[in-house]
Amino acid sequence: PDVDSIVGELLEVTKLFCVYVLLVQSVRSERRLAVFTTAIAVMITVLALAGVLFSLGVGIPGYQWEHRGAHGFQYVGIFEDANCLGQVFAVAWTLILFDFVNGKGSGWRRTAELASIAVLGWAMLLTGSRGTMLGAGIGMFLSLRRRFGLIGPGLVIVALLAAMSLAGISRMDQLSRGEESAET
pLDDT given at position 183: 45
pTM score of the predicted model: 0.76
Q: For residue 73, give the nearest of 27, 114, 122, 109 by alpha carbon.
A: 122
pLDDT given at position 182: 46
pLDDT-flagged residues of the chain (< 50): 69, 182-184
